[in-house]
């Protein structure tokens, strides 16, 4: 067990000490090569390891729990958490919901990042994909078309489609980022003046993306991703220019 030097009491206050203890616990996890689901030592042992009092460790554990870095299982102990991006989703979503003007700005930034990731990974996505993935992407695109024909939302299919694009890369961080940005988009998305034409364009763009992956055509994939996000970017640009409005549930073609 790696022990870390005690933290001296600081005149800067308890809050700073709490952050210092939280950092020490993170160092402990790293130095002892612990991974998600691994058990942390008992509270007394952890206090000794990081050189802090029980109260400081307890407050630090609360902070790390909120960040999903540790998980407290009552009656069992404390474990390394899933290390998900839940805190990022909450923070970005709240930032967008906090201000009527910021919702459009946050979404514009999210769309830019999502498009950059997908276009930047185009060659890797089409190279690593296989026939099973091709079939799943095409099936999801057709499900979106069927939902659109009925005037229904296809948010779940859309989310799964974009996560599937990242799947063959085997990069867990990219997959988590894609899911996190998509979830924030879904939470914050304002009314984007969805029209039957924009919904049709969204469906066709997903079909084009699926066909490009199937054909292993990187250039076609990049163009299809551009076509997918173009209507959303145009609507967001109009929203920013008009001063924005409060966020409401998004329509079926907003993603």
Domain end residue (candidates: 38, 60, 80) = 80
145 and 72 share one domain: no
| Same domain, yes or no: 207 and 221 | yes
Residue 133 within a domain: yes
CATH code for position 42: 1.10.10.10
Tens of pLDDT along 76-114? 899 998 777 776 666 766 665 665 556 677 778 888 989
pLDDT digit string, tens, across residues 20-35: 999 999 999 999 999 8
- Total count of domains within the chain: 2
Q: Is residue 99 part of a domain?
A: yes
Structure token pair of residue 108: 């514009």
Report pLDDT for 149: 92
Most confident range (mean pLDDT) of 55-69, 96-110, 126-140, 191-205 is 126-140
Q: Tell whether 159 is covered by a domain.
A: yes
In a domain, 139, yes or no: yes
User: Could you tell me the pTM of the whole model?
Assistant: 0.66
Domain that holds residue 91: 86-242
Task: Report yes or no on 222 lying in a domain.
Answer: yes
Instruction: Decide if 2 is inside a domain.
Output: no
- Of 80, 115, 136, the position where a domain reaches its end is 80
Do 106 and 168 fall into the same domain? yes
Do 18 and 73 belong together in one domain? yes
Tokens at residue 23, please?
Answer: 């950092």
Residues 100 and 225 in one domain: yes
């Amino acid at each position: 067990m790696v022990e870390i030097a005690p933290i001296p009491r600081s005149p800067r206050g308890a809050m700073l000490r709490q952050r210092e203890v939280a950092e020490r616990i993170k160092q402990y996890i790293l130095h002892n090569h612990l991974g998600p689901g691994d058990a942390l030592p008992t509270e007394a042992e952890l206090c000794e390891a990081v050189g802090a009092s029980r109260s400081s460790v307890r407050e630090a554990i609360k902070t790390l729990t909120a960040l999903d870095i540790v998980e407290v299982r009552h009656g069992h102990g404390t474990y390394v958490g899933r290390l998900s991006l839940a805190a990022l989703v909450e923070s970005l979503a709240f930032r967008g919901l906090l201000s009527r003007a910021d919702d459009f700005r946050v979404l514009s930034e999210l769309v830019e990042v999502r498009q950059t990731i997908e276009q930047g990974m185009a060659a890797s996505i089409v190279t690593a994909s296989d026939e099973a993935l091709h079939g799943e992407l095409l099936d999801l695109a057709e499900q979106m078309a069927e939902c659109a024909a009925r005037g229904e939302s296809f948010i779940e299919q859309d989310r799964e489609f974009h996560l599937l694009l990242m799947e063959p890369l085997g990069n867990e961080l990219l997959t988590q980022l894609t899911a996190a940005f998509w979830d924030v988009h879904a939470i914050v998305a304002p009314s984007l003046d969805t029209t039957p034409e924009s919904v049709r364009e969204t469906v066709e763009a997903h079909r084009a993306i699926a066909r490009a992956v199937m054909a292993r055509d990187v250039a076609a994939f990049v163009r299809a991703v551009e076509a997918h996000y173009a209507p959303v970017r145009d609507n967001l640009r109009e929203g920013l220019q008009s001063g924005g409005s409060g966020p409401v549930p998004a329509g079926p073609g907003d993603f």
